[in-house]
Amino acid sequence: MAGHVKGEAMAFENLTKREREILANLIDYYVATADPVGSRVIANKYRMGISSATIRNTLQDLEELGLVKQPHTSAGRVPTDLGYRVYVDFLLKPENLTDDEKQFIKNSIIKEGRGINEILGQTCRVLGDITNQLGVSIAPRFEQGVLRAISLIPITGERLMVIVVVQSGLARSVIIEIEADIPDKVRREVEVVLNERLAGLTLGEIRDTISKRLADVSGHGKLIKLIIDSKDRIWTEGRSEDIHISGADHLVQQPEFADLRKVSDLIKILEDGKVLSDFLTQAVEEGLIITIGKENKFNQIMNCSLVTSSYRVGKVSGTIGIIGPTRMAYSKLVSVVEYTARTISEVLSGIDKHRKK
């Protein structure tokens, strides 16, 4: 689920079978209720066959290990970030989605059509609604994609649209300003040169080497120079423009976000793209990622967990996931995020498996 560190592995290895069961039961109850959990609650609800006093002693042992804590001396206990980490990495049992839940996810994602932005926008809404958390989705990382074709489309006498299509069939467009109207003949000739010299390269390779690859092109100097000078805009995606967020209304209903300023601060830091870009890189490399509490390096999300997963369209990949308080139903959310990521991969790849089931 995430890279294990020595501390959490040792914390788990030191646990007895009883301690593991009590930790799992405590977290399950706390996730469901948001109430600190006492020994009597565990004894009454989970019928473990041991006394409340034994459970109380075990909770003290778990507290000494740093897996649970008492918010107040008279209250029950709640999980710590380390407690959640041990639970997620070693005790979690993913909850299977029902056929109806799977069908709902598929139908919801495809109902907005086949445009990337529409699909990703709908995806984060579906994730938010199903999980009652904040749904997020990030557009594919085109930099990894291999160029199939580039088109130059005139919009006005002073603006030109550059359309970049990668081999998976996905496309992105950028509008650049031009000094004067460019004759159609010149535009078409430059388009041919660009396709001949750049097709088959990744967008990242093109951005880094385009100056050398077009250095000896004769004629059409102004347009060629403009394409070279615009390399960072054309070949590098702007992360903040490709992020979709939905479900702030769900967070407001969580006791952890009773202070609306916390929700506002969370949305602001996510919208600038830096936070999600970090997790994008992780998810591309590792698949499903769960990041808990203080594992997040930004203050605004240190009380949150992120469950993210990568989706793929050919060699191009992006990320979807959910963000919410550390007190979340991980067993259910893991299954929702993983299944949704697979479904997006199928939809964007044109594999309509939803029609076969």
DSSP states of 249-263 as a string?
HHHHTSGGG-SHHHH
pLDDT value for 20: 95
pLDDT value for 140: 78
DSSP 87: I
Please tell me the class of the 6-91 domain.
mainly alpha
Phi and psi at residue 356, to the nearest 5°? -95, -10
pLDDT value for 279: 61
Provide DSSP, 291-351: EEGGGSSSGGGTTEEEEEEEEEETTEEEEEEEEEESSS-HHHHHHHHHHHHHHHHHHHTT-
317: which 2 tokens?
């990949």
CA gap 218, 225 in Å, rounded: 11
Q: Could you tell me the pTM of the whole model?
A: 0.80
Q: Please check whether the domain covering 99-141+241-355 is classified as CATH 3.30.450.40.
A: yes
pLDDT value for 9: 64
Q: What single-letter amino acid sits at 149?
A: A
Asked if residue 51 lies in contact with residue 15, where contact means CB atoms within 8 angstroms, the answer is no
2: which 2 tokens?
């995430």
5: which 2 tokens?
């560190």
Give span(s): CATH 1.10.10.10, the chain.
6-91
pLDDT value for 64: 93
pLDDT value for 283: 55
Q: Produce one character per residue of 64-76: b if its CB has 16 or more CB atoms within 10 Å, e if not.
A: ebebbeeeeeeeb
Q: What single-letter amino acid sits at 350?
A: G
pLDDT value for 120: 87
Sorted by sequence, the CB contacts under 8 Å of residue 108 that are 6+ apart come out as 122, 125, 126
CA gap 75, 214 in Å, rounded: 70
Sorted by sequence, the CB contacts under 8 Å of residue 76 that are 6+ apart come out as 35, 36, 37, 38, 39, 41, 70
3-state secondary structure of 1: coil
Q: ∠ CA(224), CA(145), CA(202), 5° rounding?
A: 50
Please give the CATH topology (third level) of the domain spanning 143-235. Answer: Enolase-like; domain 1 (3.30.390)
pLDDT value for 267: 84
Running along the chain, 357 residues long, what does each successive block of 10 average in pLDDT? 58 87 96 94 92 95 94 87 94 93 90 72 92 89 85 85 85 83 86 94 91 84 86 72 84 87 83 67 70 84 90 83 94 96 86 42
Give span(s): CATH 3.30.390.60, the chain.
143-235
Handedness of CA 256, 296, 268, 140 (dihedral sign): negative
Sorted by sequence, the CB contacts under 8 Å of residue 326 that are 6+ apart come out as 79, 81, 84, 292, 293, 303, 304, 305
Sorted by sequence, the CB contacts under 8 Å of residue 5 that are 6+ apart come out as none
Give long-range contacts, CB 8 A cutoff, 24+ apart: 304-310: 304/266, 305/84, 305/330, 306/279, 307/333, 307/334, 307/337, 308/136, 308/279, 308/280, 308/282, 308/283, 308/337, 309/283, 309/337, 309/338, 309/340, 309/341, 310/283, 310/284, 310/341
Instruction: Compute CA distances 157 → 43, 161, 181, 189, whole Å.
Output: 76, 11, 4, 18
Asked if residue 134 lies in contact with residue 333, where contact means CB atoms within 8 angstroms, the answer is no
Asked if residue 326 lies in contact with residue 88, where contact means CB atoms within 8 angstroms, the answer is no
Q: What single-letter amino acid sits at 8?
A: E
